[in-house]
Chain A
Amino acid sequence: DGGITQSPKYLFRKEGQNVTLSCEQNLNHDAMYWYRQDPGQGLRLIYYSQIVNDFQKGDIAEGYSVSREKKESFPLTVTSAQKNPTAFYLCASGSGTSGRFGTDTQYFGPGTRLTVL
């Protein structure tokens, strides 16, 4: 888990503003994911990428955009089109390493808590 970092820890967005959440990993993982967590709900998939320069929409991609120019980085932009962005955003990465839980397992970063002012 320590190999996945997210920044900032807290982020405040004004109406109509785009903001970008950072996710970096040094685990040599091929796959990276963005999930959104709302109170009382499980995690929902926004976007994922299984290889550099390629990414796929998840269940709730509307109002979000991503890029995957480097294996280590998968930034998420929350655009003004996302009408209810206040949530806890979690980045995860997986595969490429062996360990206690096997070679294909997802680990989470510490999260970014986004609040709309």
Chain B
Amino acid sequence: GENVEQHPSTLSVQEGDSAVIKCTYSDSASNYFPWYKQELGKRPQLIIDIRSNVGEKKDQRIAVTLNKTAKHFSLHITETQPEDSAVYFCAAGLSGNTPLVFGKGTRLSVIA
């Protein structure tokens, strides 16, 4: 089955700097790669996703890149702000209509 590895497990950046979180997956059949942000005690919130037919997607300060050959995808957050502090999860699945396999999360701290 699918296995998703995520790193780093913790990341601290200065406000205004960029943050990068990386994930690798094992199943070449996976075609859907969402990223979720989870604040303490809250539900995971979808922040961006990418499908295998594109290599990069951007939404304001966040972007995701996908390398299907190498089986890895990354989340990039630019101009970080204190409100970006949270735990971020990557996931992989055959599609958005199928179960997702999640990474173990990255705790991002943005220091003002």
Contacts and interface: CB of A to CB of B under 8 A. Distances in A.
Contacts, number: 69
Nearest to B90: A42
Interface of A: 1, 30-31, 33, 35, 40-45, 48, 50, 58-59, 90, 94-95, 101-111
A48 B99 contact: yes
Given A40-B104, A45-B100, 15 more contacts: A1-B45, A31-B97, A35-B102, A41-B104, A42-B89, A42-B105, A43-B91, A43-B102, A59-B1, A94-B96, A101-B46, A101-B96, A106-B96, A107-B46, A108-B45
A67 B46 CA distance: 26
A109 B43 contact: yes
Contact of A110 (B32, B43, B96, B104): B43
Nearest to A104: B96
B34 A105 contact: yes
Contacts of A103: 96
